[in-house]
């Protein structure tokens, strides 16, 4: 079973969740303020540039062998990163054609209301950014990033402080009890899979398999 699409449950596209308040707000949290933004390194899209995604890494992040799989690469923090920081948006090729669905761990569904409006596919590294290289955590406790949709774009946010030397890992929730998670090969750039070891818990993200 291979993960194909990832999609957000039917939340308000303008809402923002605050971990400190433990609730959604219509816009930024009125108590703790907006998420602090971590900008990508600016790199123009280049056809055929297979390293373009890595080049967009912020200066305090780097790639290295993932702890999720010995044969994969991941994204690591070269300095401490506080909670409530926003990463992204997730870049890729946009499509409204549902017939273009492929077996890939790089595609997200973007919703308007309860309906899928389009998808963003980061399979091609020359048209995407470094977020495609962030691996899936094996459990909610292991993760330090949470994905969310806001105003038609996909972002990750830091759900807790990330110490220097830690791998960035995103958690989607596992309501669908997936048996495989996407990790990324250092040598080929292709998606490979590993079995999750963490306990099951509910989350707002569904993996359509």
* Count of beta carbons in the 10 Å neighbourhood of residue 11: 15
Residues in contact with 167: Cβ distance below 8 Å, sequence separation at least 6, in sequence order: 66, 67, 68, 74, 75, 76, 77, 135
pLDDT greater than 70 at residue 88 = yes
Residues in contact with 111: Cβ distance below 8 Å, sequence separation at least 6, in sequence order: 7, 8, 10, 13, 117, 149
Encode pLDDT of 41-65 as tens digits: 999 877 789 999 999 999 999 999 9
Contact indicator for 196, 56 with CB cutoff of 8 Å: no
CATH architecture entry for 5-208:
Beta Complex (2.170)
Report pLDDT for 21.
86
> What angle is formed at CA 185 by the lines to CA 108 and CA 58, rounded to 5 degrees?
65
What is the mean pLDDT of the segment spanning 61-75?
Answer: 91
Report pLDDT for 114.
72
* Domain segments of the chain as ranges: 5-208
Residue 188, CB half-sphere, CA atoms under 13 Å: how many?
Answer: 8
Encode pLDDT of 109-142 as tens digits: 777 777 777 778 888 899 999 999 999 999 999 9
pTM, full prediction: 0.75
């Amino acid at each position: 079973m291979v993960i194909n699409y990832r999609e957000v449950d039917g939340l308000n596209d303008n809402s923002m969740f605050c971990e400190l308040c433990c609730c959604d707000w219509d816009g930024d949290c009125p108590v703790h303020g907006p998420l602090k933004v971590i900008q990508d390194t600016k790199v123009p899209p280049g056809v055929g540039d297979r390293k373009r995604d890595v080049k967009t890494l912020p200066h305090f992040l780097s790639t290295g062998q993932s702890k999720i799989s010995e044969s994969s690469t991941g994204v690591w923090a070269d300095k401490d990163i506080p909670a409530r920081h926003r990463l992204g948006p997730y870049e890729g090729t946009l499509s409204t054609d549902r017939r273009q669905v492929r077996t890939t761990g790089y595609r997200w569904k973007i919703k308007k209301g309860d309906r899928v409006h389009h998808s963003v596919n980061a399979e091609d590294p020359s048209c995407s950014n470094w977020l495609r290289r962030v691996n899936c955590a094996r459990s909610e406790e292991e993760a330090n990033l949470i994905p969310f949709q806001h105003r038609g774009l996909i972002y990750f946010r830091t759900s807790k402080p990330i110490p220097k030397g830690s791998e960035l890992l995103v958690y989607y929730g596992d309501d669908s009890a997936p048996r495989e998670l996407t990790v990324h090969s250092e040598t080929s750039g292709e998606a490979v899979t590993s079995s999750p070891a963490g306990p099951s818990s509910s989350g707002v993200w569904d993996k359509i398999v």
